[in-house]
Structure 1
Amino acid sequence: MHTQTDINRRTVQRFLTGTHSRNIEDVAVIDETVADTITCHGFPGFVIEDHESYKNFFRVFRQSFSDMDWTVHALIADETHVCARWEITATFSGDFAGVKADGRRVTFDGMVLYRMERGLIAETWLQINEMQLLTAIGAIPALAA
């Protein structure tokens, strides 16, 4: 028998694998892993409140950052929440934050916390290392060592 913690962990693993796959059509996993109404925090410029708006976020993001390699460094789950610490390396292939894409490879990291209801993602808090990302794409100059 699987515990609620096991179910929550597996749901988030499926969600992350699908939404960060090299095949953008894999965002369809949202239909199976996210509650019908979703509340998302930390997605600047996006209002995410249902499956289609969540899929759209990933589609737009992937236009700016293609050929993505995604690593989850830690995944912690309990009966109501799942937290992931992650790192992305991708090609800066579409303009982002007012910066023209130049095809360079960039790396940035962050964390995300999911609140779970009945084994589905019901609320998301995303924290991207914005300084790292903006420095990587050239939006802000690198700090001297």
Structure 2
Amino acid sequence: MSTNKIERNETTVQRFLAGTHSPDIEDVAVIDDTVVPHIVCHGFPGFPGGEFEGREKYKAFFRFFRQAFTDMEFTTHKTLATEDFVSAHWQIWVTHSEEFQGIAPDNARVTVDGVALYRMEDGQIAETWLTINEPLLMSQLGKGNARAA
């Protein structure tokens, strides 16, 4: 195995996650540098069948999510990298600030975790499979003063 290729893949994903989950939503521009133009994504809430293609739709997903959920804190618990894939187990803490899937915001602090698998091409993300703990997220929304632990 090529250690350099593995390290490059992991570094790319770390840059991607830092930019897409930073306090400044404009940092989603990191997608232009870390994702291939023909990106294919699977498992994303809010898209038909959870599927979409292209960098602009990837940016749109993060912008939409970040409008509904503000004050994001993001942690990557673990990443595993190979020559062709990087997997990341992550957790976020956010404030429900705008309507999401028909649920009115109540400014509750919520948390959710998930795993993303990234297929890499020449050091950039070419395909993403997202597995989010959506039942956990949805169970916390619309509960008034309920707060995430």
TM-score normalized by structure 1? 0.92
Aligned partner letter, 1:123: E
Aligned residue number for residue 146 of structure 2: none
Contact 2:79-2:89 within 8 A present in 1 as well: yes
Aligned twin of 2:127:
123
Which secondary structure does the structure 1 equivalent of 2:139 belong to?
helix
Cα shift at 1:45: 2.6
Listed as ranges, the gaps of 5+ residues in structure 1 are: 140-145
Superposed structure 1 runs of 4+ greater than 6 Å apart: none
- C-alpha separation between the residues in 2 aligned to 1:13 and 1:7? 10
Q: Which residue of 2 aligns with 1:29?
A: 30
Whole-angstrom distance in 2 between the partners of 1:109 and 1:51: 23
**Equivalent position to 1:92, from 96, 99, 109:** 96
Consecutive unaligned residues of structure 2, counting only runs of 5 or more, are 144-149
Amino acid at match of 1:22: P
Once residues 2 and 53 of structure 1 are traced to their aligned partners in structure 2, the CA distance between those partners, rounded to angstroms, is 32
**What is the CA-CA distance between 1:130 and the residue it aligns to?**
1.0
CA shift for structure 1 position 52: 1.0
The aligned counterpart of 1:76 is: 80
Q: CA deviation at 1:2?
A: 6.0
Partner residue of 1:20?
21
Alpha-carbon distance between aligned partners in 1 of 2:71 and 2:127, rounded to the nearest angstrom: 27
Query: Does the CA-based 8 Å contact 2:105-2:142 persist in structure 1?
Result: no
How many positions carry a matched residue from both structures? 140
Matched with 2:116 is: 112
Question: Could you report, residue by residue, the CA deviation over 1:102-132 in whole angstroms, capped at 9, with x for unpaired residues?
Answer: 1110011111000000000000000010111
